Amino acid sequence: MAADNEFPESVDVEMFPMLPEELFRENAEEFEATSPKRDPTMPRFSINIDNSLSPSHTLLQITFSNRKGIFYDCARALKDLNLRIAYGRLSTTEKGVGDLDLFILQANGNKLVDPDKQRCLLSRLRMDMCDPIRVIIVKKGPDIELLVATTVEKNGRARPRILHDITLALKMLDICIFKADSEKITYGDRLWEIYRFLLVEKSSMSLKSDRIRNHIVERIKCLLMGK
């Protein structure tokens, strides 16, 4: 399942040598298992590929903890890998457990039976559904910088409302922005959009405190992902 790497105009990540590597982590399974905010009563993310139940379609069975935008992340990953959804079923419980059954086809109308393509699909879905948005705060000399990274669709379309939600979260936290910008960059075979915010220190809230910075990161993630 070769991905088309011809992205819209962007710059290479090497032009931003100070970007932390954790923004581009690829082991979503490890992230999901070790996330400090993971509820131990919720099921772990799981995906199963089944070609035995339908003579003409591949069945994807996905179990997840429900959150804002999770079906968007799933559908976007399938679209970027040139897979089509024929039909499907989504169900969630009041406790936030979701089950998604999708009958999919390749662009040529065939089932997905190639083991390499299946592994590529599993890896991509796990990363995009478990860890689609990365948020960190770093020290940049005397300044404190908020970095938010998210992958971009192959056609260059960015994630909806992300800038609105970031600025809303900072407003709710009563944190002022001195400067903000964004840039699309390539890293590996993915296109990313990086949002940068220089934050203004306040005497009532020291952004040099690890506890305060961690609190800000978690609040922003909660608003972006609806958890």
DSSP codes, 160-202: TTHHHHHHHHHHHTT--EEEEEEEEEEETTEEEEEEEEEEPPB
- Average the pLDDT over 155-181 and give the result: 92
- Strand segments, DSSP code E, in 52-170 are 58-65, 83-92, 97-106, 133-140, 143-151
- Note the pLDDT of residue 154: 83
Tell me the range of 40-44, 79-83, 141-145, 158-162 where mean pLDDT is highest: 79-83
pLDDT at 175 over 80: yes
- Note the pLDDT of residue 43: 67
Q: Which residue do the tokens 């931003």 mark? A: 16
- Note the pLDDT of residue 42: 61
pTM: 0.82
Task: Render pLDDT for 86-103 as a digit per residue (tens, 0 to 9).
Answer: 999 999 998 889 999 999
User: Cα torsion for 61, 114, 116, 119, to the nearest 10°?
Assistant: 0
Residue 1 tokens read as 């399942």
Within 13 Å and on the Cβ side, how many CA atoms surround 133?
Answer: 28
| Cα–Cα distance for residue pair 190/169, rounded to 1 Å | 27
Lowest mean pLDDT among 26-30, 101-105, 119-123, 202-206: 26-30
| Selected residue with higher pLDDT from 9 and 226 | 226
Residue in 63, 27, 218 with CA at minimum distance from that of residue 135:
218
